[in-house]
Structure 1
Amino acid sequence: MPHLIIRPAAPHEYDEIARVWMESWVSTGLAEASHFLLANLRARLRREIEDGVSLFVADDNGTIAAMLALHLPKLYLDQLFVAPAYQGQSLGRQLLAFTRTQLPDEIVLRCVRENEKAWRWYEREGFVFEREEIATATGFMMKCYRWKR
């Protein structure tokens, strides 16, 4: 397992972060890579930062291995995506441990219902399912979870 540095993202990295996000999302089998998807994720990343999201990366000697987006005032884990080349190496656990240092008492998140691998992982990590709702931005049915200390 690589030991990576989790640090705040820099604005000049946003395009690369969007690419990692797309590749990870595509690895779920729920989308296909495209210039259109990448452009949407780039725009969404900037919108979410403007809306108060704190963006972090897992840095492997200058290579972005993962991205993590947290909305701290809302106790919200917005995005956690690991690049395919780094999946299966416990990087998600490292990012979740980091999240718990930022949000030590409570974390809420939403996960696409069809992304069973992800929501089952969150359940193993102690998150409790609360409800389902449709994401207005994407149309996906989302499973809503909460973790409390």
Structure 2
Amino acid sequence: MEHGDVLIRPADDTDADAAADVWLRSFAAALPSVRCAHTDEEIRNWFAHVLVPQYETWVAVTEDTVVGVMVLKGKELKQLYLDPAWRGRGLGDRFMALAKRKQPDGLTLWTFQVNTSAHRFYERHGFTAVERTDGQGNDEREPDIRYSWQTRRRSP
């Protein structure tokens, strides 16, 4: 899956730290008003011991540098984070196309209500907001939105 000089491939154990670093940089850049509920070390451990080995984790790599990460758990898109320098360059679109190919019957995801750029991105990709919460169900205690995408099946 090459495009330009970026390869999207399944993550392996050696990618966990670099993927966590992308997550940390992206979270800080995209969500400056949201308190990260975990330390950097806890995030790195979560990638190394949960996300990479237990979930379907993909990384975008250029010149041996991880610049994006996507995590699927069945029909739930758990994580989609890009290095801030790679936003707006089509990489998120490529990850979204991959997620839809992997889960053609539909996807759901959560994003924070303050993350308006994520809302625009997901809505552009056909997701609709189906639930809003006060944030009591997430570690950050930040109001969030659940989005859903369903394929449009043609009638016989």
TM-score using structure 2 length: 0.83
Q: Quote the Cα distance in structure 1 between the aligned partners of 2:52 and 2:20.
A: 15
Query: Partner amino acid for 2:140?
Result: T
Q: Quote the Cα distance in structure 2 between the aligned partners of 1:136 and 1:111.
A: 10
Consecutive unaligned residues of structure 1, counting only runs of 5 or more, are none
CA-based RMSD: 2.2
Query: Partner amino acid for 2:103?
Result: L
Q: Quote the Cα distance in structure 1 between the aligned partners of 2:53 and 2:86.
A: 29
1:28-59 CA distance string (max 9 Å, x none)? 14269x9x632131133245438942111011
Shift in CA distance, 31/13, structure 1 to aligned 2, threshold 3 Å: farther
Q: Quote the Cα distance in structure 2 between the aligned partners of 1:9 and 1:28.
A: 23
SS in 2 for 1:5: strand
TM-score using structure 1 length: 0.87
Please name the residue that 1:89 is paired with.
89
SS in 2 for 1:65: strand
Shift in CA distance, 93/138, structure 1 to aligned 2, threshold 3 Å: same
Paired residues in the alignment total 145
Please name the residue that 1:77 is paired with.
77
Consecutive unaligned residues of structure 2, counting only runs of 5 or more, are 152-156
Q: Quote the Cα distance in structure 1 between the aligned partners of 2:49 and 2:144.
A: 20
Please name the residue that 1:100 is paired with.
100
| Structure 1 moving runs of 4+ over 6 Å | none
Larger Rg: 2
Shift in CA distance, 53/118, structure 1 to aligned 2, threshold 3 Å: same
Identity across the alignment (%): 25
Q: Quote the Cα distance in structure 2 between the aligned partners of 1:107 and 1:71.
A: 10
Please name the residue that 1:58 is paired with.
60
